[in-house]
Structure formats: structure tokens, C-alpha cells
Chains A and B, each alone.
Chain A
């Protein structure tokens, strides 16, 4: 398995390089270094001298990919791409174009993102599984029918509606929780209740249906018939046997998103003023801060690759038949 992990990690290097080249290319197709300088310098009294000074100071005066004016290695190394990208591979994100240390910002902002995303994932998962098992328990009854209708209704409504509706109902009308904000330590709890509840409710439709489909597939299998024949009650069959055997697809879906929880949610964090990473990339794109954009895209790619790797490893843990070679 160690060999497999090393091989997968080696594969990730060209993958990350490719992602970097693509991000770099797309960003600079839309924004020239001149545009970036003007965005940072403001709108008034910006002269050509000021723009060129900014570019020199921030290392954007070099050619993008190839420096034909230099010899040997320097044709590659004396370029914006090389200078700005190579340090990412050792997780040195450097300083943003507006002068802040990106690594320090990421470290600070990932915890609030995690504070919302982790409970939302765990509670959401439990609620979805419970709802799905109940639908299976009451299958072919009107309860299942209405449960499915409810799921479709929940799925059909935009996440934004839940957020604004939730804020209106629980914060404005009932005045039970703050509308938005964030605190440190225990203080954060009152700010997290509503976003977590909204995440759970808005994800119930798709989650409930997805897990129901998994369980329905399982309940038709022979071992379930055997369990019933042994005289186990339907709840025992479902919660002990069906749930246990459906763990592989559940685990696959969960583990792959685990690393990405750090990246946060854009809309949720925006409406609840949660100072997480969700809006960090979008803010950077709006400010044309390439240093942050490339760092966040790189980090997202790394975490995704890590998620996939973890999933593979988890397969071996939950299913002894699977071997990683």
C-alpha cells in the first residue's frame, strides 16, 4: 500500500503542474500585469511610471512563460510562471499582491470554515441516513411517498432561499439566534446553529434520496432476506445489517469531501459573515490578486487529490477484499 501511496503522490506532481499552468494561463488571458497594477494602485492619478514600478516591485515585469532574453535555465526561471509557481510545491504561498501573507490568512480562515462545515457534514450525514432508513422502513406506504415528495421539494428550492428564509424566520421574526457574525470559542456556538441547521435542511432532499437509493438496493439482497427469515425485526435488519453493508458507498462519498471542508462555502459564509475561506478566492478574483487565486486553486487541487487518496485507503479498511497495489 505504501508503494501505491507514493505512486499516487508522484502522479499528483504533473497533475498539479498542469492545474497551475491552466490557472496561470486563464488568469493572464483575462488580466494583464498592467490590469493588476492598476487595480492595486486605485483609479485616480495612476501614471504609467507608477504601473511599471508596481510591476517591477511585485515581479510582474518578467515574461509570462519564456524569457528569450536570457540564457540556458534562465529562459525558464526568469519568468513570472516559474517565479510565482515553484514555491507553491513546498506550500510557500508568499505575499498577496495587496501585501498580506497568504499562508497566515489561510491558516486563520480555515478554522471558521471548518467550524461550520464539519458539524454540518456530520449532523447532515446522520439526519440524511436516518431519513433514508425511515423511508425504507415505511416503503410502499404513503409516508414514503410523502417523504420522497418532501425530498424533491427540498431539492428544488435554491440554497439562497433557505439562508434568507432561515435568517428571516429564526433571527428576525423569532429572534432566537443572531442573523450573522462569528465569535471565538464557545461564543461561536450561537452563530453556528443557524448555518448548520440550514446546511442540514437544504441537503436533506438530495442526501435523503441518495441514501434511500443505496438502502433500497441493499434490502433486496439475499443476506437481508436471511436476516428477516431468522426472525429479526425490520428495524434491526435496517439499522444493523443494511446500514453496515451500505457503509462503503457512504464512506466513499464522505471521505472524498473531508479535505475540501477547509475550503468552506461561498454563499453560506457570505450571508452569515463567517470569516472563512469560502469567500477568500472570490474576493481575490474580484481584486485581481493573482497570488491568492493561484494559491487557492493549488490548495483546492491538493486537497482534492488527497481526498481521492484517502478514499482509496478507506476502501481497504472497510472492505478487506480490496487491495491497493
Chain B
């Protein structure tokens, strides 16, 4: 195989090949917060909890925790003493999370943990690191058992002034004593840092610790499944804090130290990143159960076997989609998304509207996996705007009319190759509270006749007329009502989309002015409340309805508090219901509150509920045990590569073709003939002239 981009010796090894188009900004679990970073650190760091790989709806299970945290609610009695309670949430003063971790979990081999009599590399001088260019250049490495202090150390790191954790401010609101801890002067000193304590986070013994949070915040448990709450040995900070290492790009941000199934054995973000099996990975087995259908689809074939299955994962820098796609078709990448420029090559729609693979891909035994993402794309109204905002009947009817005329079914068909589901509410599928069918209908935008049918243009026109803009005419100017749409989509590819939006508004006589700008300016406008209409979206942090419904919670208003309520929506009833709902466990009572909250949003229409994007993945036959899981970020350990089969297929698909080259050389040689003739003729002419 002349076109094999990998060394021939790797052909039959259990290696997964993937790519990255932009180097991850951070690999420090206190800082990382984007999906491309999680794709790497999710395999390296192990938080306390994880999402069950196969079961749906998404379910948290212990990872390094020995069991699910014991949760205790505390109130103060009359004398100020804290006592346990099961009272109403608003009376709960604190919540304690008592956590027990599994013994025997060890960190990956790392020079920070290398020990002789003492730590070998904790007293490095600048001259000691002159010949060091990467972490593997250190001769010795060591490991040690993960203990409760490592988790507490990581919580402290969240508020360290040099670390800039994106959740530092959020966690200060919840974890007792974190705010005060962050203000301690000694926090700057890496040695003193270890000795300082957060009043609300306490190490009980080697394997137990307790986190105390203010009030009741049931969603806190989801944060415990994120890398922010992974164990971090204090030795790592001491090691990486030494002079001379940062100058060589050797830092915790680039060379993680985790206890997960894999460790980063090569980090060259300018070329490739390699994950290798962590030799000290603790025993973890493939799940024994899943949801119905998993057994039949072979997802339980490895049930009970110890993880991980793949020896190495190589992420190659691949900036363009065309080379990636071609390499995937040649078998040099194991999975691929579907970019818009290769969509027609990959996907065809059947008579029933379902997506299927084209015959060429079917011939290669490639599989298609689709999943509706836990995210939403929407058009927001700035509720403090004088025209579209406010809760008056007129403004509401204007918003409802606009909600009807923006035909997202058409948008999905034209611009997304069908990869999206029009939204009926705030909650996407997979989140508790989402309902399909007539139960999930948005009755202000759709009618139900054996399916969702967008309301007629006449309805929109009637609503517009009732809003005081008959025929789209603004009575104050006697001209078409002009609305302004702010968006960060300003590239040449976005022009068609924005024109499409303009066309939608013109259906009922409204004039839409697009104010496309870069993302910074766009955010600034939203922060200052200067946008009227805007396009935005939200991707879930965790699979709980609170993580979507809080986007319209009054106290989170963008303009007042810089929160995530970009529409600046204020509704006392909504806020009260939200506060009640967020503290409830999933069940009929919570579902009823969610119904009410969704009903308010559908009626008030502070957003035009856009669509839930759908992800399409293409997977080669040899890449097994893959099930879409939009919440878990540590999926690699469950997957398997049949490398022998892959090697055979690669051989079959990549036989070099020489004859066109021979033909090309032949044609070139023939073309030389006239040149030779002319040259000889001229030479003869010169001789004759003499």
C-alpha cells in the first residue's frame, strides 16, 4: 500500500486512528470545557461518576467512587446547630455529599511521581532540564494510589488564580468555603496551597471525603461526572511548577496525569497526539446490561470483559475535510462524520424519508449511526426590546406570528441535509421531560394531524394584524415593520442562510435587516442588550431539564447578571415553577412542572424554537461496540478494533494503479518527437546556411 500514511508495522496492531483539526487549547481538567478537549482528557482523567455506556435515559453510575454519593440535607435548628432533614428545599441550609472512592486505583506512570528515597524530580534546576524536550525524556517515572486528598486538591485548583477554571465562579456559589479559599493570600504559593483547606470540603480518611454545598442543588451530582472533579495529585503541581519546564511546553495543560484507561504518551499538537493504554489501569468491565436491542445488535458481545480493548489511539492533525473523507474511504480512519461536501456521496434518502447509505458505502460495509444531539438552535427575541419584547398581548402575538412563518422544516431540508428535528419545546430528545407526538406539540405554531403541521400563513397574518402590524406595516411609519437580526454567522457560506431568514419574514410583509458580525461583537451586543432578534444555541452540560429551562430563568438574565438567559426573559410564574422543578427528582410531579414551564414558553414565545441538530456518524465494520452516547466522554475504553480485518480491507482497497503513469510517460515521450524533429531541422538549417 503506497498510499498508507502510517508505518507498515502498525497495520495489524489494535490502534484506532482519529484526527483533530485544531489543537486542543487545554488538557488541564480544571480548565478544559470543550468537546475536542474532552475527546482526549475524557479517556485520561476519571471523575467520580460516569454515564452508563448503554442504558437510556442517561444514567449516572460510579466510576472511581465506590458507590453513588450519600446525600444529606441539613438545616439549622433554633440554636444554630445543623441537623439532618427531609424538609422543603427552600429551608435546606446545606447539602452534604459523602463520597467513598474505590481503593487500588493508581495514577498512570509519570515523572512527577517518580520516587527514590524522595521524589526524584521535585527539585529540578533549570540546567537539569536543558536536554528535556518532552515528558518522556525523563528517565524515571512512578505511580501511587489515588486517595481522597487528590479529589480535594483538584477542587482547590478550580479557584487557583493562575488556573482560570471556567466553572470557578459557578462553583464558588455552591461549594461552601470556596469563595473564601480563593481569597486566601497564601493560595499563590504552590507549597502552602496544599496545606490550606476549604471549609466545605473535608478529607475524612484515605478513601472518604465530603463536599458541602449551599442549599439544595440536585444537579451538582452531574458536575461530579465531569473532568473538573477528577483526582489530581499534588505532586503534579509541584513538578510542573518548576522553572524551565513551561518554557519547553511541559505543563499540566499539555501532559496530563490521570488514572483513566489511557495516558497521553505523545503530545505534539503540531502533528499528532497518541493515547496508550495505562499500564496501571484498574479493573473495569464492559457493562453486562443495556437497553432492549443492544444484545441483538451485538453491543453486549463483550459483556463482562475487562477494559479497554484498544491498545493505542492516534489523533492525527487533519485540517481539511476532503483529505479526511478520502482517507476514511481508504480505510485509514476508522470513523467519520458527514461533512456537507461529501453528504451526497454518503447518504441517500429512502422513500419513507429515512436516511440510508449510498450503494458505494454499503459495498464497503460502512455503518451509519444517527442521533439527535442534546442541543437546541433557536432564534431569540430580546425581551427588553420595545417592539418584539415585553409580555403585552401585542408583542406576544408578533412573536407567535414570527414563530409560525420561520419554516424550520425547510431550513433543515435545505441547509442541513435533513440533519435536524424541528423543536416543539426547549427540551431535546433524551432529556427528561421531552415528549414526542401530540403530547409534545407546540400548539401555537403547529397543528396535529397524524404528525406536526406548521400553522398556515393566514394564522400568522391574523396574529400580526392583532399585534397592530396589519400586512406587516408599522402604523407609526406606514411602511413595512423593520426588524433587526443579529448573528455571528458572517462567512460567505452563511449568506444563503441569512437570505433565507429574510425571505421568511417577507412572507408576511416584515422587513428583516441582518446585522452579521464576528462572535465577539455579537456577544457584546447580547451582553449589553443591544440585539433585537438573534440566532444562538445551547449544548447541554448534563442530561437534566434544568440545564435547558434555566436558559429563560429571570435571575439568569444576561443584561442584569451576565447569566445565560440571553433573551432577558422575565416571568415570575416561570421563575417560581423553575425553582420548584429544579430541586425535584425525576417523576410525575417534576414532569407536570416541566409541562407547565414548556407551556409558558410556547405561549410567551421568547424564542422561536428552532431545531435539535442531528449527528450522523459513519463507522467501518471493523470498529465495534460503538453506540451513540452524547453525554459520556470516556467511550473509547468500550470500543474495539478488528485490526486483522481492517488490514485485509485496506489491502483490498488500496492496490496501486500503475498503468496510467506508464501511459502518461508514453504520451510524454511521443510529445518529445516533434521537438526533436524541429531541433534537427533547425540544426540542419544552420549547417546549410554556413
Residues of A with Cβ closer than 8 Å to B? Answer: 30-32, 35, 38-42, 44-50, 53-54, 57, 95, 98-101, 103-105, 108-109, 112, 134, 137-138, 141, 143, 164, 167-168, 171-183, 187, 190-191, 233-234, 270-273, 275, 279, 283, 287-288
Query: Quick check: which of B39-47, B165-173, B414-422, B495-503 contacts chain A, the rest being far away?
Result: B165-173
Tell me which residues across on chain B come within 8 A of A100, comparing CB atoms. 249, 254
Contact across chains for A44 and B322 when beta carbons are under 8 A apart: no
**Interface pair A187/B170, CB less than 8 Å apart:** no
When the two chains form their complex, are residues B162 and A104 in contact, meaning their CB atoms are under 8 A apart? no
- CB within 8 Å of A: which of B638-687? 654-658, 660-661, 674-675, 678-679, 682-683, 686
Residue among A38, A46, A100, A137 with max Cβ neighbours from chain B (10 Å): A100
> Which one, A35, A105, A137, A180, contacts B679 given CB within 8 A?
A137
A48, A143, A174, A179: the one contacting B660 at CB < 8 Å is A174
Contact B169 A47 (CB under 8 A): yes
Q: Point out the residue from B161, B254, B270, B320 that lies within 8 Å of A271, measured CB to CB.
A: B320
Would A138 and B33 be within 8 Å (CB), given that A38-B520, A57-B162 are in contact? Answer: no
Whether A283 touches B323, Cβ cut-off 8 Å, given contacts A105-B270, A178-B4, A179-B5, is no
Residue B253 interfacial (CB < 8 Å):
yes
Cβ < 8 Å to A, chain B residues 505-525: 518, 520, 523-524
Question: Is B246 engaged at the interface, CB distance under 8 Å to the other chain?
Answer: yes
Can you list, as one digit per residue, whether each of B243-261 has a CB less than 8 Å from chain A (1) or not (0)?
0001111010110000000
Q: Complex Cα distance A288/B521, Å? A: 13
Whether A53 contacts B322 by the Cβ 8 Å rule is no
Query: A50 touching B26 by the CB < 8 A rule?
Result: no
> In whole angstroms, what is the CA distance A235 to B641 when docked?
61
Asked if residues B34 and A42 are in contact (CB atoms below 8 Å), the reply is yes
Cβ-closest 10 pairs across A and B: A181-B5, A178-B5, A180-B323, A35-B520, A275-B271, A275-B270, A47-B169, A270-B319, A175-B3, A179-B323
Asked whether, in the complex, the Cβ of B247 is within 8 Å of the Cβ of A104, the reply is yes
Alpha-carbon distance A48/B564, docked complex (angstroms): 13
25 residue pairs from A and B, CB less than 8 Å apart = A38-B520, A41-B164, A45-B167, A45-B564, A57-B162, A95-B246, A98-B26, A99-B251, A104-B248, A108-B270, A134-B675, A174-B660, A174-B661, A175-B657, A176-B3, A176-B656, A177-B3, A178-B332, A179-B323, A190-B2, A191-B5, A270-B319, A271-B322, A275-B268, A283-B23
Which residues of B from 1 to 19 have beta carbons under 8 Å from A?
Answer: 1-5, 7
Q: B25 to chain A: which residues have CB within 8 Å?
A: 40, 98, 287
Closest chain A residue, CB of each to CB of B252: A99
Q: With A42-B33, A172-B326, A270-B320 as given contacts, are A234 and B3 in contact (CB-CB < 8 Å)?
A: no
B372 an interface residue at 8 Å Cβ cutoff?
no
Which residues of B are interface residues toward A (Cβ below 8 A)? 1-5, 7, 22-23, 25-26, 33-34, 161-162, 164, 166-170, 246-249, 251, 253-254, 268, 270-271, 316-320, 322-323, 326-327, 329-330, 332, 518, 520, 523-524, 541, 562, 564, 654-658, 660-661, 674-675, 678-679, 682-683, 686
Given A50-B168, A138-B675; A99-B322 close (CB under 8 Å)? no
Q: Is the CB of B249 within 8 A of A105?
A: yes
B166 touches A273 (CB 8 A): no
Given contacts A109-B270, A174-B657, A190-B2, 20 further A-B contacts (CB under 8 A): A32-B520, A41-B164, A42-B34, A45-B170, A50-B164, A50-B169, A53-B164, A99-B26, A103-B247, A104-B249, A138-B678, A175-B330, A175-B654, A176-B656, A180-B318, A181-B316, A182-B271, A183-B7, A270-B320, A273-B319
Report yes or no: B5 in contact with A101, Cβ–Cβ below 8 A. no
How far, in angstroms, from A99 to B254 measured CA to CA in the complex? 9
The residue on B at minimum CB distance from A287 is B25
Contact status of A175 and B249, CB under 8 A, knowing A50-B166, A143-B678, A180-B323: no
Within the assembled complex, what's the spacing in Å between the Cα atoms of A104 and B524?
35
B323 and A273 within 8 A (CB): yes
Contact of A180 among B1, B5, B162, B674 (CB under 8 A): B5
State in angstroms the CA–CA spacing of A175 and B653 once bound together.
Answer: 9
- Shortest CB–CB separation between residue B607 and chain A, in angstroms? 18
Which residue from A101, A177, A178 sits with its C-beta under 8 Å from B248? Answer: A101
In the bound complex, residues from chain B placing their C-beta under 8 Å from that of A171 are: 3, 326
Chain B residues whose CB sits within 8 angstroms of the CB of A30 once the complex forms:
518
How far is it, in angstroms, between the C-alpha of A160 and the C-alpha of B316 when the chains are bound? 22
In Å, the complex CA distance between A8 and B35 comes to: 50
Question: In chain B, what residue has the closest Cβ to A235?
Answer: B679
Contact partners of A176 in chain B: CB under 8 A = 2-3, 656-657, 661
Chain B residues contacting A177 (CB-CB under 8 Å) are: 2-3
Instruction: Choose among A39, A44, A105 the residue that contacts B166 (Cβ–Cβ < 8 A).
Output: A44
Q: How far is the CB of A7 from chain B (nearest CB, A)?
A: 35
Q: Are A164 and B270 in contact (CB under 8 A)?
A: no
Residues of B within 8 A of A138 (CB): 675, 678-679
List the A side residues contacting B170 at CB < 8 Å: 45
Min CB distance, B630 to chain A, in Å?
16
Q: How far is the CB of A115 from chain B (nearest CB, A)?
A: 12
**Chain A residues, CB < 8 A from B658:** 174
**Given contacts A45-B170, A50-B164, A180-B323, is CB(A38)–CB(B249) below 8 Å?**
no
Contacting residues, chain B, for A234 (C-beta < 8 A): 682-683, 686
User: Which has the most chain A C-beta neighbours within 10 Å: B166, B524, B654, B661?
Assistant: B166
Q: Which residue on B lies nearest to A282, using beta carbons?
A: B319
Which residue from chain B places its CB closest to the CB of A58 in the assembled complex?
B164
Chain B residues whose C-beta falls within 8 Å of the C-beta of A54 in the assembled complex: 164
Which residues of B are found within 8 Å of A57, using beta-carbon distances? 161-162, 164
Separation of A283 and B682 alpha carbons in the complex (Å): 56
How far in angstroms is the closest Cβ of chain B from A219? 14
Q: Chain A residues near B518 (CB, 8 Å)?
A: 30
Q: From A283, which residue of chain B is reached at the shortest CB distance?
A: B22
List of B residues within 8 angstroms of A181 by Cβ: 5, 316
B-side contacts of A99, CB under 8 Å = 26, 246, 251, 253
- Closest-CB distance, A160 to chain B (whole angstroms): 10
Chain A residues, Cβ within 8 Å of B2: 175-177, 190
Interfacial chain A residues near B254, Cβ < 8 Å:
100
Inter-chain contacts of A173 with B (CB < 8 A): 657, 660
CA of A30 to CA of B517, assembled, Å: 11
Closest to A169 in B: B660
How far apart are A146's CB and chain B's nearest CB, in angstroms? 10
